[in-house]
Structure 1
Amino acid sequence: MLINDPATLASLETAFDKYEVALTINDVPALDTLFWDSPHTLRYGATENLQGYEAIREFRAKRPGSALQRTIIDRSVTTFGTEFGVANITFHRNGETRTGRQSQTWARVDGVWKVVAAHVSWMDEPKP
């Protein structure tokens, strides 16, 4: 299997970067275009479990649009073949002591990278 073909990896990295900008400025229409429009799309958030594009879209439309800036600590993007990849990050937000984690599964749908599954969670800091 072809792992991290340079052209495929670069195109998924570009899609992920577009997602990150849209998320941090709360560009809901851009976020909507980055998710696969399907009842099979999943997004498990820190406080919600969303199944289906419409549920994800509705959540984004109602979510507060402030304090979304974050600092990515670690990032790993891997492609498998030319149509499938995963992106994982850890991040910090100002005022938050916990570390955030985000995993995304991406697939090319009609030639365009789309998030088909996503998960966001918080990890408590280890106790001394």
Structure 2
Amino acid sequence: MSELNRPDVVAQVTAAFDAYERALVDNDIATMNALFWSTPQTVRYGIAEVQHGGEAIQRWRETCEPVPRSRRLHRTVVTTYGNDHATVSTEFTSDATPLLGRQMQTWVRFDTGGAFGGWTIVAAHVSLIDVH
């Protein structure tokens, strides 16, 4: 394994993840789409749906219900593997449900340019569980 959790790489991924989270809460579809890899290989498993491919994710975003503005993150863990690979795991809550949300994303840096330093989500999973 190359370097695990280099501080500069963790900071880059954290900034990209924070930008995604802002876009999610603001329902900024263009930014969310820009942060997802738009290829047939991209997979997103949602709470009640599945999208295979960037185009399917983009179509779904156009019609899905926005996340509640009351959404709050808990226990976010950013782990980087070398310079170009990372995972972000987080839990979330909102006023919309008593359930605990869980979200995992796999991030890859394809280049060092662009607004997010080339960091892109290549796979994601979102789920809700009852913790009571």
Note if 1:123 corresponds to 2:124. no
Residue 119 of structure 2 is matched in structure 1 by 113
Q: Secondary structure at the match of 1:38?
A: coil
Residue 115 of structure 2 is matched in structure 1 by none
The runs of 4+ residues in structure 1 deviating greater than 6 Å are none
Q: Secondary structure at the match of 1:14?
A: helix
Q: If the length of structure 2 is used for normalisation, what is the TM-score?
A: 0.91
Q: Quick one: which amino acid aligns to residue 62 of structure 2?
A: A
Residue 50 of structure 2 is matched in structure 1 by 49
Q: Secondary structure at the match of 2:97?
A: coil
Q: Is the 8 A contact 1:23 1:68 kept in 2?
A: no
**Deviation at residue 125 of structure 1 after TM alignment:** 2.1
The alignment-based identity, stated in percent, is 38
Per-residue CA distance 1:9-56 (angstroms, 9 max, x = gap)? 100000000000000010000000000111000100000011100000
Q: Secondary structure at the match of 1:9?
A: helix
Q: Is the 8 A contact 1:26 1:68 kept in 2?
A: no
CA distance 1:5–1:68, change in 2 (3 Å):
same
Aligned-residue Cα RMSD (Å) equals 1.1
- For residues 33 and 67 of structure 1, the distance between their equivalents in structure 2, rounded to whole angstroms, comes to 21
**Deviation at residue 63 of structure 1 after TM alignment:** 1.1
Structure 2 segments unaligned to the other structure (5+ residues): 113-117
Aligned pairs, number: 126
Q: Is the 8 A contact 1:22 1:28 kept in 2?
A: yes
**Deviation at residue 68 of structure 1 after TM alignment:** 4.4
